[in-house]
């Protein structure tokens, strides 16, 4: 058989394998979405429980924890189903590292809950602990989106990741505001945090709307009834503008928690829909690639049975074939035709992969912003000896103080880091 065709088929096999693995990863992402949702509900309830010094949500706490436990078991089973032995999972190094961090956090969850029940933790500590674990779960989704090799699946994963992150920020907002109402006041730090959470949510949903299919983007725009949207803004304004230490705060706790929960539940419905569509997309893509592989195999069979099978294709690759009119044998003509059809295949494949590469680059560009922020955190952690949280808070505070976007501050930090020197120390050659 012509070797070119053998390698075209090998390329398709790699695509198919990548898509099959991607379908498994998408299933995992769907399960992670469920777990994040359960942990978000547990966090919200734990927070109010702590802020009210155990007076509120006592019954709900145990049932939330039971819900989390059930979904956690499923997600852990999903992690364990991944191929951890062969080292063959595409993008596996980063994905498994993220999973290791998540699993370590899940192992520590029972002890955290004991501390919550014993009222040993402040609402802030509870929020931070759960938020870190959920952040770890989102990082798994991020790696899945960033390592997806198919541009359509990658776009869908970028949309889903940003939606999940927006929903998580909405969950943090729910907890932050609920704790403020429960405590009866909003200090300046909580108000700053709230402004940031509202702003960051908007950015996530903007990116979601850019990469989601139009029907899902429209469903998101219509998901919150206008009365709820108005109530949401009214309660937000109350929380953001109330004077620090003021006792004039009306008790918006119940109203806020119910409204924010309704909003997050609506997000959950849409997230479930996105996850289902993602799975369908990954399956469809795999089938398409398999069908293309069968077309190649059919062409291969035509070669094997034809007269041309035993001769080399003429120089159609170089476009220097004899001008028409000159005498050519039937064998030459057949060879020329087959040689050209391989050339067409090679060119079509190469152009398709190039188009895919362009599309992938666009989808991943939307993830690059997050990476820049992560890199800037790393620089601050290293050069100013900060924890990850401290580094993030420093970036966020600087952004708020200067009225800049977080990513702009992060880029400024990275630009400045060149002057800090000793980059070579981290390179091992």
300 touching its own copies, by CB under 8 A: no
Position among 30, 41, 43, 79 found at the interface with its own copies (CB under 8 A): 79
Q: Buried b vs exposed e over 23-39: b needs ≥16 C-beta within 10 Å?
A: bbbbbbbbbbbbbbbbb
How is residue 205 written in tokens? Answer: 């949903």
111 touching its own copies, by CB under 8 A: yes
Position among 1, 353, 384, 420 found at the interface with its own copies (CB under 8 A): 353
Hey, which residues does 326 pair with through a beta bridge? 324
**DSSP letter, residue 326:** B
CA-CA-CA-CA torsion sign (303, 307, 310, 316): negative
Q: Are 181 and 242 in contact (CB under 8 A)?
A: no
At residue 245's C-alpha, the angle toward residues 244 and 246, to 5°, is 90
Position among 107, 222, 385, 418 found at the interface with its own copies (CB under 8 A): 107
Residue (101 or 400) nearer to its own copies, CB: 101
Q: Are 258 and 228 in contact (CB under 8 A)?
A: no
Site string for its own copies, 8-47 (x = CB under 8 A): xxxxxxxxxxx-----------------------------
358 touching its own copies, by CB under 8 A: yes
How is residue 84 written in tokens? Answer: 């951890």
Position among 185, 203, 375, 383 found at the interface with its own copies (CB under 8 A): 375
Please state the closest distance from residue 357 (CB atom) to its own copies, in A: 7
Give the helix/strand (H/E) hosting 158: helix 151-183
Position among 152, 210, 228, 411 found at the interface with its own copies (CB under 8 A): 152
Q: How far apart are CA 143 and CA 158, in angstroms?
A: 10
Q: How far apart are CA 150 and CA 161, in angstroms?
A: 16
Enumerate residues 309-328 that contact its own copies by CB under 8 A.
312-318, 320
Please state the closest distance from residue 254 (CB atom) to its own copies, in A: 29
Position among 98, 190, 193, 236 found at the interface with its own copies (CB under 8 A): 98
Which residue is associated with the tokens 């940003």? 162
Size of the residue set binding its own copies (CB under 8 A): 93
Candidate ranges 29-37, 115-123, 178-186, 194-202; the one touching its own copies (CB under 8 A): 115-123
Nearest CA among 379, 365, 373 for reference residue 135: 373
Enumerate residues 243-272 that contact its own copies by CB under 8 A.
none
427 touching its own copies, by CB under 8 A: yes
Nearest CA among 42, 15, 295 for reference residue 171: 42
304 touching its own copies, by CB under 8 A: no
Please state the closest distance from residue 2 (CB atom) to its own copies, in A: 7
């Amino acid at each position: 058989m012509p070797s070119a065709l053998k390698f075209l088929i090998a390329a398709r096999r790699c695509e198919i394998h990548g898509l099959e693995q991607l379908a498994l990863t998408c299933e995992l992402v769907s399960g992670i979405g469920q777990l994040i949702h359960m942990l978000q509900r547990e966090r919200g309830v734990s927070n109010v429980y702590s802020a009210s010094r155990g007076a509120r949500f006592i019954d709900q706490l145990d049932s939330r924890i039971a819900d989390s436990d059930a979904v956690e078991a499923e997600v852990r089973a999903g992690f364990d189903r991944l191929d951890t032995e062969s080292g063959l999972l595409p993008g596996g190094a980063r994905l498994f590292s993220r999973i290791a961090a998540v699993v370590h956090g899940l192992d520590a969850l029972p002890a955290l809950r004991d501390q919550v029940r014993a009222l040993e933790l402040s609402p802030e500590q509870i929020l931070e602990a759960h938020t870190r674990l959920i952040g770890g779960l989102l990082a798994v989704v991020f790696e899945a989106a960033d390592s997806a090799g198919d541009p359509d699946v990658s776009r869908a994963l970028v949309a889903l990741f940003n939606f999940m992150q927006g929903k998580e920020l909405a969950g943090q907002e729910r907890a932050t505001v609920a704790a403020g109402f429960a405590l009866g006041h909003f200090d300046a730090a909580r108000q700053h945090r709230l402004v940031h959470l509202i702003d960051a949510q908007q950015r996530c949903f903007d990116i979601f709307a850019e990469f989601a299919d139009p029907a899902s983007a429209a469903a998101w725009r219509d998901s919150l009834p206008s009365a709820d949207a108005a109530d949401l803004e009214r309660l937000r304004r109350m929380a953001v503008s109330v004077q620090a230490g003021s006792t004039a705060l009306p008790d918006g706790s119940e109203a806020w928690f119910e409204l924010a929960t309704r909003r997050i539940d609506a997000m959950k419905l849409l997230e479930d829909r996105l996850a289902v569509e993602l799975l369908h997309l990954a399956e469809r893509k795999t089938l398409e690639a398999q069908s293309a592989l069968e077309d190649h195999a059919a062409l291969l069979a035509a070669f094997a049975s034809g007269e041309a099978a035993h001769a080399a294709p003429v120089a159609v690759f170089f476009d220097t074939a004899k001008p028409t009119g000159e005498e050519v044998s039937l064998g030459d003509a057949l060879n020329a035709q087959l040689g050209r059809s391989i050339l067409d295949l090679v060119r079509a494949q190469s152009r398709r992969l190039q188009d895919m590469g362009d599309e992938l680059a666009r989808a991943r560009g939307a993830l690059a912003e997050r990476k820049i922020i992560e890199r800037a955190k790393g620089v601050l952690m290293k050069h100013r000896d900060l924890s990850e949280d401290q580094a993030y808070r420093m970036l966020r505070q600087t952004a708020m103080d200067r009225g800049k976007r977080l990513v702009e501050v992060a880029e400024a930090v990275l630009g400045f880091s060149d002057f800090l020197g000793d980059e070579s120390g981290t390179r091992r050659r």
